[in-house]
Homo-oligomer: A and B are copies of this chain.
């Protein structure tokens, strides 16, 4: 465990400040987010593509000038499923954006079940082929790809991998050194095989995302809890992630339309720092 007083391990995913839903959240420009994180001693920031636009190099420089890293970029367009036609151009552009930002890691949310198929086996094969293809371009750009398993409630139209074990199976099929796994507690906290899977993931964990699973989760997408407010065993999961050798940032990512997005962003940032120190 790192020192509890040190926030250099903490990264902000900007979705925590509510940018993600039209008309909700503070609408702070990236510069203000960067300054607010730097003031608090955060180690890094993770942006979403829509915030970056054509200012990737400029924003990357600004983050580093403030003493932080661009800890990642969210995310590729879907690689599978109904909305994945023409995936390659968009996915390559997101790799290029990550490279221009100086972000080491680009997250992949896979997309859902391929049209005309049932279940997941066919889609997972398609996914592996497309990730392998993208990994070549990403390697040339110096970017790592982090496959993020999602909670099974997102099967159908958002993902075709649900556990760290499944993400690793895709990694094995792809066999590229720049492809690994993103571990988000919101998605995998419930998995009783998680500790075993994380041990297998040693050397391939490329991201660790923090929030909490609220006991009375009411909405699939926008009802995440701040660390400590839910039932996930965050300390145990972090210990397993770091026990498997992960030394990268702990990225707080709280989509919260009913709570944190209604508060001033400064309050959410202070809470993220405080909870990270006390409950993770």
Question: Is A152 at the interface (CB under 8 A from chain B)?
Answer: yes
Question: Is A232 at the interface (CB under 8 A from chain B)?
Answer: yes
Given contacts A190-B162, A192-B166, A220-B220, contact A213 B120 (CB under 8 A): no
Count of this chain's copies in the oligomeric assembly: 2
Residue of B nearest to A115 (CB): B215
Which of A36-44, A135-143, A153-161, A270-278 forms contacts with chain B? Answer: A153-161
User: How many angstroms from the CA of A155 to the CA of B162 in the assembled complex?
Assistant: 15
Cβ contacts A180-213/B at 8 Å (1 or 0 each): 0000000001111000000000000000000001
Q: Is the CB of A119 within 8 A of B215?
A: no
Question: Is A129 at the interface (CB under 8 A from chain B)?
Answer: no
Question: Is A236 at the interface (CB under 8 A from chain B)?
Answer: yes
Which of A112, A120, A162 has the most chain B CB within a 10 Å cutoff? A120
Could you list which residues of chain A lie within 8 angstroms of chain B, going by C-beta atoms?
A: 82, 112-113, 117-121, 151-153, 155-157, 162, 166, 169, 189-192, 213-217, 220, 230-236
